[in-house]
Chains A and B, each alone.
Chain A
């Protein structure tokens, strides 16, 4: 079984790619990773279409952990999850964690072969209870 995949969804393309760069430095190619940032015109924002493509790109049968920044990224990610085929939907979670630290922690956990719920919990340990 492949490692859990990580998807990074930021309002900013630069934040998304920078976060992905930090994840890659930690885990190399051991974790499927995709990121997206920016609205459909390339301004600050998020795009359901781009999130769906990122989920496809990082897809793992072990599931996907999504890291988001601000509210719209979360709402659009939830929408993207609902639009997945039913067999995928239950295998995708959004982590309630800071995007950069959460992505690095989640990916590190995922690189050791941890199941999705452990990846999510590890990322969320960064959030105040």
Chain B
């Protein structure tokens, strides 16, 4: 297995691993529908859990096709499924994240290439959502995780801390922004779903099949 701590060693993520990652991320969404819904009911329109579930049900329906493709095409295909099926703004946002990763990554990326592609994908999400860091969105998890990936930090701890750190923030984008100061005191549902995805991915990549 390639040493994931090296910047210049290409990581081969084979079909079986791709399948496990996809299934694990989908399962994480299915297992947390109620939690994501509750978070979204507090500050949004309450559909994030069901939207993510719908999106990943569509992904799972085609898991054979997705997993069989090389990493970039697999990411693009999953991103497109989320765009088409999620039904809320999180569809285009997560879809843009994955499709940009698909566009930027080679089939067997080095850590440096992964860092660079993830950075580009975060910029694409900012553009899609007309948003930036510190506005109580998924970006507030993706940004710190990107920095941890670049600097060799722990991705899981970073993701959880970053999601927790959205609690005191005031929402400026999305439906939560209508609440103004009342959005303060709740975790952002998109930050939470991002952290859940990070956990699912690292869990698979760090656990031998």
Listed in ascending order, the chain A residues whose CB lies under 8 Å from chain B are: 39-41, 43-49, 70-72, 75-76, 78-79
Contact = CB atoms under 8 A, between A and B. Distances in A.
B87 A40 contact: yes
25 contacts: A39-B87, A40-B54, A40-B84, A40-B87, A43-B87, A44-B47, A45-B88, A46-B87, A47-B84, A47-B87, A48-B83, A48-B84, A48-B92, A71-B175, A72-B87, A72-B89, A75-B92, A75-B93, A75-B128, A76-B89, A76-B92, A79-B91, A79-B92, A79-B95, A79-B128
A48 B84 CA distance: 5
A82 to B, nearest CB: 9
Nearest to B178: A70
Interface string B46-71: 01001100100000000000000000
B85 interface: yes
A117 to B, nearest CB: 21
B175 A78 contact: no
A45 B87 contact: yes
Task: Please list the 3 inter-chain residue pairs (A to B) with the smallest Cβ-Cβ separation, ordered nearest first.
Answer: A39-B87, A45-B87, A72-B89
Contacts of A75: 89, 92-93, 128-129
A45 B95 CA distance: 16
Contacts of B85: 40
A45 B128 CA distance: 18
Interface residues of B, number: 21
B87 A41 contact: yes
B54 A41 contact: yes
Contacts of B51: 39, 45
Interface string B172-209: 01110000000000000000000000000000000000
A60 B51 CA distance: 32
Nearest to B176: A71
A71 B128 CA distance: 11
A39 B45 CA distance: 13
A39 B175 CA distance: 16
B124 to A, nearest CB: 11
A39 B92 contact: no
A39 B52 CA distance: 12
A44 B45 CA distance: 9
Contacts of A71: 89, 173-175
A75 B174 CA distance: 10
A44 B96 CA distance: 22
Nearest to B90: A72
Nearest to B128: A75
A72 B178 CA distance: 14
